[in-house]
Amino acid sequence: MKDKRPIRKDEWAIVLDFLSHGHSSMDRSQPVAHVIGERYFSLLEVIIRDDVTLKVGDRIYIGDGKRDKVKYIRGRIGINELTVSARGELEDVIEEIVKKNPQKFLDFFNKSGNITTRLHQLELLPGVGKRHLGP
């Protein structure tokens, strides 16, 4: 059965790492960046236009409209596919995203409820378990 939920896409992303000559697993050398979406925290690999240079922390448009810095989105990537540098930046960038819109995240935690009588939604977050939720 096919999932009919709409795909949630980020409009803006924050650069975690920029490789001006691509990386070894790519067929041809082209500028690439590892980014995280500001709204849904999507980890993406994006191909950057040839005349563009980015730095860690830059905010770039990745939505469906005209992209001035991104040629195309190569695809979603897993955390293990991030470069070492990108993984090192990940926590700080997420912290900055949360600090810019704390009410959104407070509302999420305040409104999250039980999935079942034995499982709370927050337990599904990495690093959170029954022990951290308290009594």
Q: Is residue 4 part of a domain?
A: no
pLDDT band at 8 (very low <50, low <70, confident <90, very high): confident
**Is 7 inside any structural domain?**
no
* Residue 13: pLDDT over 90: yes
What's the total number of domains in the chain? Answer: 1
Question: pLDDT tens across 54-73, in order?
Answer: 999 999 999 999 999 999 99
Report the alpha-carbon distance of residue 68 to residue 71 in Å, rounded: 8
In what helix (H) or strand (E) does residue 43 lie, and over which residues does it extend?
strand 43-48
The pLDDT value recorded for residue 61 is 97
Domain that holds residue 90: 12-130
- Whether the pLDDT of residue 1 is over 60: the answer is no
Q: Is residue 38 part of a domain?
A: yes
Residue 2 lies in a domain: no
64 lies in some domain: yes
Give percent helix, percent strand, percent coil of the chain, each to the nearest 5: 30, 25, 50
pLDDT tens, residue by residue, 70-126 = 999 999 999 999 999 999 999 999 999 989 988 887 777 677 666 666 666 655 555
User: The domain spanning residue 88 has which CATH number?
Assistant: 2.40.50.140
Q: Answer yes or no: is 5 within a domain.
A: no
Instruction: Look at residue 6 and tell me if it is in a domain.
Output: no
Tell whether the model's pLDDT for residue 47 goes beyond 70: yes
- Tell me the whole-structure pTM to 2 decimals: 0.77
Please indicate, yes or no, if residue 16 is contained in any of the structural domains: yes
